[in-house]
Amino acid sequence: MEIIPAIDIIDGKCVRLSQGDYAQKIIYNENPLEVAKQFEAAGLQRLHLVDLDGAKASHIVNYKTLQTISSQTKLKIDFGGGIKTDEDIKIAFDSGAQQITAGSIAVKSRYTVLRWLDKYGAEKIILGADVKDEMIAVSGWQENSNINLFGFLKDYVAHGIQYVICTDIAKDGMLQGSSISLYKKILQQFPSLKLIASGGVSDLNELNVLSETGLHGAIIGKAIYEGRISLVDLSKFN
**Residue 8 among the catalytic residues:** yes
Question: What is the spatial distance between Cα 61 and Cα 118, in angstroms, rounded to a whole number?
Answer: 25
pLDDT tens, 127-149? 999 888 888 987 544 556 689 99
CATH number for the domain including 32?
A: 3.20.20.70
Contact (CB, 8 A) for 49 and 7: yes
Number of structural domains (the chain) is 1
Selecting among 8, 51, 53, 88, the annotated active-site residue is 8
3-state SS, residue 219:
strand
Q: If the chain, 238 residues long, is cut into consecutive pieces of 10 residues, what is the mean pLDDT of each piece?
A: 95 82 83 97 96 92 97 98 96 98 93 98 96 78 75 97 90 67 96 94 90 95 91 83
**Residue 88 among the catalytic residues:** no
Selecting among 53, 130, 168, 172, the annotated active-site residue is 130
Contact (CB, 8 A) for 135 and 143: no
Provide the residue range defining the domain that includes 80: 2-237
DSSP 129-197: EEEETTEEEETTTTEEEEEEHHHHHHHHHHTT--EEEEEETTTTTS-S---HHHHHHHHHH-TT-EEEE
pLDDT tens, 90-120? 999 999 999 999 988 999 999 999 999 999 9
Whole-structure pTM value: 0.93
Phi, psi of 171 (to 5 degrees): -95, -25
Average pLDDT taken over every residue of the chain: 91
